[in-house]
């Protein structure tokens, strides 16, 4: 004998929630020296000068460049100072087992997205890989992941660019994994476009553009109409307030010279 189930009973068999991992824009806050007061002042200045970019921006605290790892209470204080500045600390950057212990005591995650900096610093790749989580898929269809390019090699070598021909609206993100990104429509305010290679915008760029997302310092950004909130190449960035007024609305290219992000008219 079969018993018909009510709609409510059927609904109760479905999962309450669904978790999906997406490519998210989280800033890596690399601490170069342990000076909590100076850090708080610098972060407040960034929020005051570029509130659209930094106010309530999620950040991961990277302690890898300090001579020694601070104790738990010092890290707790650093996180509170970051929060008080207007930014939102969401975790610690991937690091050693001691780093993970601190994160556990503070009840925050360790974000594996930034593990490459530790591997370059000398941590065995095999050990790092054993703890690393798989990279999350992006929100948009992208190229299949591939092995990391050797140092100095353009991330897009051997792959065609990912073409995106629709406007990227506020709150949307497009990521070209392992290749260039080509956009033929508007990138709106509050939108984000990311590529492991270069970014080509054949239209107005009003949101954020992050090229060389996996560290390719040879990547460039080309834009037909430049109004960007932020441009970044291999982690080096400039925000709208730092962009010369004579470049706004112009055809512009961006590239790296050492640690300096350069901009000029095309």
- Residue-level pLDDT at 139: 40
Residues facing residue 231 across a β-bridge: 209, 238
CATH entry 3.40.50.2300 includes domain 27-131:
no
> Of the candidates 204, 136, 220, which has an alpha carbon nearest to the alpha carbon of residue 175?
136
- Yes or no: say if 209 and 193 are a contact pair by the CB < 8 Å rule: yes
251 and 225 Cβ atoms separated by less than 8 Å: yes
For residue 116, which of 232, 197, 215 has the smallest C-alpha distance? 215
Q: What is the pLDDT along the chain (266 residues), one digit of tens a residue?
A: 556 677 777 666 677 776 555 445 678 888 999 999 999 999 998 888 777 778 888 899 999 889 899 999 999 999 999 999 999 999 998 777 888 899 999 999 988 655 434 433 444 333 333 333 333 333 443 333 333 333 333 444 446 789 999 999 988 889 999 999 999 999 999 899 999 999 999 999 999 999 998 889 999 999 999 999 889 998 888 888 778 889 999 999 999 998 889 999 98
Half-sphere exposure of 244 (CA within 13 A, CB side): 10
pLDDT attached to residue 14? 76
- What are the residue boundaries of the structural domains of the chain, listed by start? 27-131, 162-265
Rounded Cα distance, 213 and 107, in Å: 28
Beta bridge partners of 187: 168, 205
Indicate if 162-265 has the same CATH topology as 27-131: no
pLDDT given for residue 1 in this prediction: 52
- β-strands 208-211, 230-233 pairing: parallel
Q: What tokens were used for 214?
A: 């996996």
The three-class DSSP label of residue 113 is helix
Query: Three-class SS of residue 11?
Result: helix
- What topology does CATH give the domain 162-265? Pectate Lyase C-like (2.160.20)
Question: Which residues 6+ apart lie within 8 Å of 203 measured at CB?
Answer: 183, 184, 185, 186, 187, 224, 225
pTM flag (> 0.95): no
């Amino acid at each position: 004998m079969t018993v018909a189930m009510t709609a409510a009973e059927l609904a109760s068999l479905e999962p309450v929630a669904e978790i999906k991992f997406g490519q998210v824009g989280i800033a890596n806050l690399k601490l170069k020296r342990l000076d909590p007061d100076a850090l708080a002042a610098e972060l407040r200045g960034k929020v005051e000068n570029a509130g659209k970019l930094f106010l309530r921006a999620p950040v991961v605290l990277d302690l890898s460049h300090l001579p020694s790892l601070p104790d738990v209470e010092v890290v707790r204080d650093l996180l509170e100072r970051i929060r008080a500045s207007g930014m939102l600390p969401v975790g610690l950057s991937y690091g050693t087992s001691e780093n993970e212990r601190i994160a556990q005591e503070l009840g925050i995650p360790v974000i594996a997205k930034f593990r490459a900096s530790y591997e370059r610093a000398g941590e065995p790749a095999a050990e790092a890989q054993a703890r690393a989580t798989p990279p999350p898929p992006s929100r948009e269809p992208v190229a299949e992941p591939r092995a990391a390019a050797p140092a100095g090699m353009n991330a897009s070598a051997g792959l065609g660019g990912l073409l995106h021909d629709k406007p990227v609206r506020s709150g949307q993100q497009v990521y070209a994994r392992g290749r260039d990104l080509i956009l033929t429509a508007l990138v709106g305010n509050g939108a984000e476009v990311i590529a492991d290679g270069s970014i080509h915008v054949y239209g107005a760029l009003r949101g954020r553009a992050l090229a060389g997302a996996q560290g390719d310092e040879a990547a460039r950004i080309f834009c037909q109409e430049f109004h960007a909130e932020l441009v970044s190449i291999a982690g080096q960035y400039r925000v709208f307030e730092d962009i010369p007024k004579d470049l706004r609305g112009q055809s512009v290219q961006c590239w790296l010279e050492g640690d300096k992000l350069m901009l000029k008219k095309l």
